[in-house]
Amino acid sequence: MLSDQQVRQKINQLLDYAQKALDLDPRDRMLKLNTLLDLFKQTAPAEDTPDYCDFQTDIADPLVQYAVDSGITDEASRILFETRMFGVVTPLSSAVTDKFYALQSERGVKSATDWLFSLSKANDYVRMTDIKKNIKWEYVGKFGKIGVTINLSKPEKDPKQIALAKLQPKSGYPACMLCESNVGFAGNLNHPARQTLRTIPITLGGEPWWLQYSPYQYYEEHAIAFSDEHRPMSVTPKSFERLLDFVDLFPHYFMGSNAALPIVGGSILTHDHYQGGLKVLPMMSVGSRAEYRSDAFPEVKFSVADWYNSVVRLTSSDKKQIHAAASLVLDKWNCWTDESVGVICKTTDQHNAITPIVRKEGDSYIVDMILRNNRTDDAHPYGIFHPEERLHNIKKEGIGIIEVMGLFILPGRLKKELAEVEKYLTGENTFNKEALSADDHPMRKHGGMIEALLSAHGSALSAKSAKQAVADYVNDACVQILECTAVFKNDEIGQAAFAKFMKDGLGLKRA
């Protein structure tokens, strides 16, 4: 355990770091010093501030370890405590907002977001040490590249923590993970601490919204815009107004909304929010396979993106026209039925939905509208335009905005499980169909994959070839998952139905 003297020196080092990396105002140093002495139950500060090499391993980690060792906190609350500590030295919301807007007016909006993003990493709100553990690769398929990430950044909870979390009383505050009331929230075992979260007030469609970074960073500068009001997700013409306003404010970012229905929407349907960030998602780089024009919107170019699923792309430098055109596509798609391809817009519930993504290139707005449908039937209880059951070992959850644009976030459990699959191909594990289909077999869900791989490759591969074969299988599965989400399949019948929607549904002519 650290001595009192060492703890006090590390507190000084933490304050130096905060002044340098978090823009802590030196005028606040004394206040923060005394707050930290209180947090670490110290009676006086150290006189000196020794040099150090790495901030995380030399200062932050040992201070948190000291808090655990000395009983200030407990093992299960390690991250809660670390967030509390960083929260003390992170500037107040008012100072962060003032600095953000000062940078925007003096040096441009990119400087402002660069600064906020760097602050969000430096105070460990974005836990880069964890995010760097993710396994990422790219794969080039028939319609361009896709990205695959095995998400190892969410720390696994041990059974003891899970048991403790269950005992926590549920207060219903904050109402969800996105509400503005998360800023400064101390957290508990069921809800992350957010003392390090800083949000920037913005105006979208004349309404108060907030900008923050995603703590998970699934891609570069992964940002979130969320409504000041806790209200359900919805995609309406008003959404396009807000998304277009967003890219006017932040032309170096894209912004998009999940569809507002389960299965095709994101994990949070209870709070109206959008996801954006740098324009790096695979779908954005593909061209078009068919172009259309409209007499009603002469300034808007309509096209079908050359992508795995069904994307209507609008391009125009006329904000009013592109807004009206996007609203028309939404309106028409929401009630479009074409039984020849299984698209039924509504049964008892609404099934057609749109995932809109907006970005700006120069003066041009680009609105990508991914057509979705969440209908289920007896043969497809998880969704007709959802990954087939044979692909559920790779991804079973709803396919949201990030995935439909070609970036797959796969669960961390796959790291271990895929390594186990490889062992069947090298002969280290012996395939026994009966044993593998037992309810309690840990690899049961991968049975189909193992069988398919064995019949293609046999069981005498080298470790390297086995790894490649499994990666190829996962890549192909991701492409198939994307194709499952296509309401108009990439075959003759599907594309004819797509053309019919463009012409008859939207009243467009081939350009």
Q: Could you list the residues that contact Zn ion (CB under 5 A)?
A: 175-176, 178-179, 230, 271
Between 231 and 464, whose beta carbon lies closer to Zn ion? 231
CA dihedral 46, 47, 53, 54 (to 10 degrees): 30
Q: How far is the CB of 173 from Zn ion (least distance, A)?
A: 10
Q: How far is the CB of 155 from Zn ion (least distance, A)?
A: 23
Residue 502: CB partners within 8 Å, gap ≥ 6?
Answer: 290, 292, 302, 304, 312, 508
Q: Residue 317: helix, strand or coil by DSSP?
A: coil
Q: In what order do the strands lie in the sheet with 352-361?
A: 200-204, 207-213, 223-227, 273-278, 253-256, 352-361, 364-373, 311-316, 301-305, 288-293, 509-510
Q: How far is the CB of 175 from Zn ion (least distance, A)?
A: 5
Between 260 and 369, whose beta carbon lies closer to Zn ion? 260
Q: How far is the CB of 179 from Zn ion (least distance, A)?
A: 3
What stretch of H or E contains 230? none
Between 202 and 324, whose beta carbon lies closer to Zn ion? 202
Between 12 and 199, whose beta carbon lies closer to Zn ion? 199
Q: How far is the CB of 185 from Zn ion (least distance, A)?
A: 12
Tell me the residue type at 82: E
Between 228 and 291, whose beta carbon lies closer to Zn ion? 228
What is d(CA 408, CA 402) in angstroms, rounded to the nearest whole number? 7
Q: How far is the CB of 271 from Zn ion (least distance, A)?
A: 4
CB 223 within 8 A of CB 275: yes
Between 228 and 472, whose beta carbon lies closer to Zn ion? 228
What is d(CA 57, CA 343) in angstroms, rounded to the nearest whole number? 55
Between 223 and 410, whose beta carbon lies closer to Zn ion? 223
Q: How far is the CB of 233 from Zn ion (least distance, A)?
A: 11
Between 103 and 178, whose beta carbon lies closer to Zn ion? 178
Between 271 and 313, whose beta carbon lies closer to Zn ion? 271
Q: How far is the CB of 92 from Zn ion (least distance, A)?
A: 22
What is d(CA 399, CA 424) in angstroms, rounded to the nearest whole number? 29
Give Cα separations from 225 to 118, 201, 235, 262, 271 (angstroms): 18, 10, 14, 20, 11
Q: How far is the CB of 262 from Zn ion (least distance, A)?
A: 17
What DSSP string describes 264-315?
Answer: TB-S--SS-EEEEEES--GGGG--EEEEEE-SS-TT-EEEEESSSS-EEEEE
What is d(CA 269, CA 218) in angstroms, rounded to the nearest whole number? 19
Give Cα separations from 383 to 50, 377, 396 (angstroms): 60, 7, 11
